[in-house]
Structure 1
């Protein structure tokens, strides 16, 4: 039809806006829709605002670590409302900025609820639109929890918008959200507890480094329960009472706030995928390697809403959106390259990973594992941190790095170098032949190999 879009994008987060801008800039008639403010989880309700709040926690923690080394901590504390205003100074301008970029490239922006009504039709708040192609980039949403009282939980979005920080906070789940938010809240003066149903939190990361981080987490005043299930949450005269079960023993915890940190799932409810013949699962829209739906060729998916080999990370969403756009524009079947993508848990200190875990590498490679306790190294001593370590996994046949795992202050920058090495296939000999500025964290690289 003459009024049809070349592309309609559902979701104005990083995957959706990347694709929409790329296709609109090439002259396609592009529409993009979101029921929430433009910007997506990362910019508005996740990575970026979280790290702004973390900055306050970093400063408090850094001062405490240096308290016996000539720095007087005094009355240093986090003013939560002021820190939240600082956060909003960034997030408040994001939606308009993103929408202005889209319209500047010629895209048509919509605000409202979208759902499929046919293979090539989508309604937005009751108005039907036709398109030759669609990109589903709706991101993820908190995993539904079904125990009694689950409705009392707040999610990560609500936590990042708290006007005041409660005194007693319980985080349910042992993943990114719980650990990062607990580290922030504890430095801001809250009493924090993490409840993990499994034996090891942060299961995608190196177990040895996770144990070190968990000990450091406890030292920061955050209690971590393992092998523990929440059985109920009840409203109490002052806050909430949480019933937990650990190896058959029931305990009750009191809290002023309970936060959902038990994982996220693709946000596909309400899209009516069946009406367009789009296959999906709990992992997202089912796509081929080049991000095209396996059941409706007019549909592509990217980011957390797609069932791909990529991790649910913002940089992955960005390049999946760009790859999907390129494949649609050119009619190609290029698959995204996920090699060398690092990921970080922004606790204090931060935990990082790129490449394979030790046990993964050992199944198909001859490996050498180089573990180094860096807690007494100069770069760690300088900032008075007490916990830092690295584990590098090397293919002994090729001298290439298979995996790098780092825990320490500022190591989220150093992990990027390992990501480049894995991406480009550099050998440890090549890495050790480089010279870094000194004294810097990067100058530790050669000694870790």
Structure 2
């Protein structure tokens, strides 16, 4: 027997919940299938609990700089188990809130992992379900590493639940998550090592910005090695040994804990997309402008389940809304991405929006690069900040702001002014002429674009 629905949504994270809500509001019969807790990565295993740890690192950093303000303090004592317990309070009850929200809107929820058995049919724990439209919103999962001993690596999920602060930790991979945890753990007192296969860390971001962040990270005591080849990971006594090669020489990184720092990928394993007539080639699925599979237009993709796209929670919600519209309207709406701001929540943070310098040149833009080391500016000096840097790309002729890349305390907040400017095609002169509260970091924007 096959249970019939109007819409099947695979995954109950930001994207899936947004799509399901839109379909239910239009009177469609919706079933959401979720293998884990309802809510998804961001509120349960990602950005929300992680920012609780980052906030603690920011306080530790402020204490370290207290002398600048002529405040004498003793060495801070971090209660790591207490911090983890505080972090859990931000997660407790959240799945139940999402479940109630689904139920209140008449959206059915089924626990389990779905597997396609046809173009519009899935199996969940032996039960068959069919629908006119199916949404794949299964989120992301830690990237698997083809390294002997990779099973010893803990994931970011486990790092958020560490019962005790490790004396030392080595990350295999120096992605965004690895950098963020490196800053938290190093400021908490751990000895941290980042091993990166690529010649540069965070290669998708502006290299000048990442060079500054890498330098600040090294100043924190974090060891960073790039262009390494990982040979294997072994259990050694109470810790782990990561064997690798760097510059032709063999080396071993020993630490109490070893972690997967290679980021996350679309969680599509086990879905059997081929049964739905969908090809997963090179880790990618071909989609049209409306987020439908080109090979099977009855199947939509949204959120981190789209291979290769930026894994940003607000972007997942947006895509879920687009899919929700297209599930319920004859006039389809394309996904219009524009330029989303993004941040690496280190201490200090790196934030970015719009074109990078290299991408802008490749696209044929003619532009000026306005770079500023702002550590000597009054706003940074007032707060005793140790990092304040900006790069702004301004198109010649039109004066449009094409992109902005910031490193410094509060960068993750200031970037939003640039995000609006990039999205609206605002000229630098308009930002420069605005009246800002003063003295603030935002007031420095008029000088950043000069």
* TM-score bracket, shorter-length normalisation: over 0.9
SS of corresponding position for 2:204: coil
Report the Cα distance in structure 1 between the residues aligned to 2:421 and 2:379, rounded to whole angstroms: 22
User: What's the TM-score, normalizing by structure 2?
Assistant: 0.97
> Are 2:311 and 1:328 equivalent residues in the alignment?
no
Q: Which moved more, 1:273-282 or 1:150-159?
A: 273-282
Tell me how far 1:439 sits from its aligned partner. 1.6
Tell me how far 1:402 sits from its aligned partner. 0.8
Tell me how far 1:379 sits from its aligned partner. 2.3
Q: Judge conservation of contact 1:268–1:284 (CA < 8 Å) in 2.
A: no
Structure 2 unaligned segments of length 5 or more: list them.
none
Tell me how far 1:238 sits from its aligned partner. 2.2
Map of 2:193 onto structure 1: 193
Number of residue pairs matched? 448
> Are 2:292 and 1:289 equivalent residues in the alignment?
no
Map of 1:337 onto structure 2: 336
Map of 1:431 onto structure 2: 431
Map of 1:41 onto structure 2: 41
Q: Judge conservation of contact 1:304–1:312 (CA < 8 Å) in 2.
A: yes
Q: Judge conservation of contact 2:2–2:127 (CA < 8 Å) in 1.
A: no
Q: Judge conservation of contact 1:232–1:242 (CA < 8 Å) in 2.
A: yes
Map of 1:27 onto structure 2: 27
Q: Judge conservation of contact 2:174–2:262 (CA < 8 Å) in 1.
A: yes
Tell me how far 1:80 sits from its aligned partner. 1.0
SS of corresponding position for 1:391: strand
Alignment of 1:33-72 (within 5 A): 33-72=33-72
Report the Cα distance in structure 2 between the residues aligned to 1:105 and 1:2, rounded to whole angstroms: 24
Tell me how far 1:430 sits from its aligned partner. 1.5
Report the Cα distance in structure 1 between the residues aligned to 2:347 and 2:283, rounded to whole angstroms: 30
Tell me how far 1:18 sits from its aligned partner. 1.0
SS of corresponding position for 2:179: helix
Aligned in 2, Cα 1:101/1:419: closer, same or farther, shift over 3 Å? same
Alignment of 1:49-448 (within 5 A): 49-307=49-307, 310-363=309-362, 364-448=364-448
Report the Cα distance in structure 2 between the residues aligned to 1:128 and 1:391, rounded to whole angstroms: 54
Q: Judge conservation of contact 1:286–1:307 (CA < 8 Å) in 2.
A: no
Superposed CA offset, 1:326-355 (max 9, x none): 111112332222112011000010001111
Tell me how far 1:2 sits from its aligned partner. 10
Report the Cα distance in structure 2 between the residues aligned to 1:205 and 1:124, rounded to whole angstroms: 40
Report the Cα distance in structure 1 between the residues aligned to 2:339 and 2:127, rounded to whole angstroms: 43
Q: Judge conservation of contact 1:62–1:383 (CA < 8 Å) in 2.
A: no
- What is the Cα-based RMSD across aligned positions, in Å? 1.5
SS of corresponding position for 1:4: strand
Report the Cα distance in structure 2 between the residues aligned to 1:298 and 1:371, rounded to whole angstroms: 48
Report the Cα distance in structure 1 between the residues aligned to 2:87 and 2:379, rounded to whole angstroms: 29
Tell me how far 1:221 sits from its aligned partner. 1.1
